[in-house]
């Protein structure tokens, strides 16, 4: 199951919300998302179709810093978590690590996402909120670090934590897997801050359900 579908599973576990998302699919297929932004606990954007545009904000719970301490230490014990993330993949089994500390990486139900939209169409999960949520899933499928950022740990902070907490038995420079030629580059890989906006602008309107 991909990160994007896991992003949807909890939301669609509620039959009423699943029905709404089905109903909104034609809209989601043609509405654009502009000014897409992700920050700690907040995903926002402007959802625009031919007639209207509305600002939408989605709020999700964040992971407390004290929990990040233990969480990142556990992640650092397995080098594959960093390696997967740097390869653009959501690591297999990562939700289990979060679960061990009684927090979740993905929303487990629609009630765990607070939707706020400028339209007055429906109180919860209007079509604009659904469109932005779907857009978020596509964005984090392209860059799993975005999901950690919304949970409260931005890319550089996460990578620093994982590096610092690596067990001493795995000295730096010994890492042998992955794509980088120079093992040192593994830890200094940088992505420009504009990357997030780039990703958002590269997401076309959904066409799979038109």
Residues in the site for Zn ion, rule: CB under 5 A?
54, 117, 119, 126, 128
Run of H or E including 48: strand 42-48
Q: Which is nearer to Zn ion, 83 or 119 (CB)?
A: 119
Min dist. Cβ of residue 54 to Zn ion (A):
5
d(CA 172, CA 52): 53
Min dist. Cβ of residue 37 to Zn ion (A):
17
Partnered with residue 55 across adjacent β-strands are 46
- Contact indicator for 70, 98 with CB cutoff of 8 Å: no
Question: Strand locations in the chain, DSSP E?
Answer: 32-39, 42-48, 53-60, 113-117
Q: Which is nearer to Zn ion, 7 or 54 (CB)?
A: 54
- Contact indicator for 206, 115 with CB cutoff of 8 Å: no
Q: Which is nearer to Zn ion, 54 or 133 (CB)?
A: 54
Min dist. Cβ of residue 53 to Zn ion (A):
10
Angle at 39 between CA 72 and CA 146, to 5 degrees: 55
- Contact indicator for 162, 72 with CB cutoff of 8 Å: yes
Handedness of CA 10, 91, 69, 192 (dihedral sign): negative
Min dist. Cβ of residue 100 to Zn ion (A):
36
Min dist. Cβ of residue 111 to Zn ion (A):
18
Q: Which is nearer to Zn ion, 151 or 206 (CB)?
A: 206
Q: Which is nearer to Zn ion, 6 or 128 (CB)?
A: 128
């Amino acid at each position: 199951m991909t990160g994007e579908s896991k992003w949807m599973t909890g939301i669609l576990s509620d039959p009423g919300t699943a029905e709404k998302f089905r109903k909104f699919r034609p809209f989601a297929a043609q509405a654009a998302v502009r000014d897409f932004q992700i920050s700690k606990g907040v995903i926002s954007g402007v959802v625009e179709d031919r007639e209207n545009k509305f600002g939408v904000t989605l709020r999700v719970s964040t992971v407390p810093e004290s929990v990040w301490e233990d969480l990142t230490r556990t992640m650092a014990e397995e080098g594959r978590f960093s390696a997967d993330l740097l390869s653009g993949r959501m690591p297999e089994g990562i939700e289990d690590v979060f679960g061990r500390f009684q927090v979740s990486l993905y929303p487990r139900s629609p009630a765990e996402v607070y939707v706020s939209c400028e339209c007055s169409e429906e109180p919860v999960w209007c079509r604009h909120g659904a469109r932005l949520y779907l857009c978020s899933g596509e964005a984090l499928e392209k860059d799993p670090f975005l999901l950690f950022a919304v949970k409260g740990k931005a890319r550089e902070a996460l990578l620093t934590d994982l590096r610092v907490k690596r067990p001493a038995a795995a000295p730096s420079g010994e890492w042998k897997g992955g794509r980088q030629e120079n093992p040192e580059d593994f830890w200094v890989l940088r992505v420009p801050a504009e990357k997030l906006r780039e990703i958002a602008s590269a997401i076309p309107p959904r066409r799979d359900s038109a």
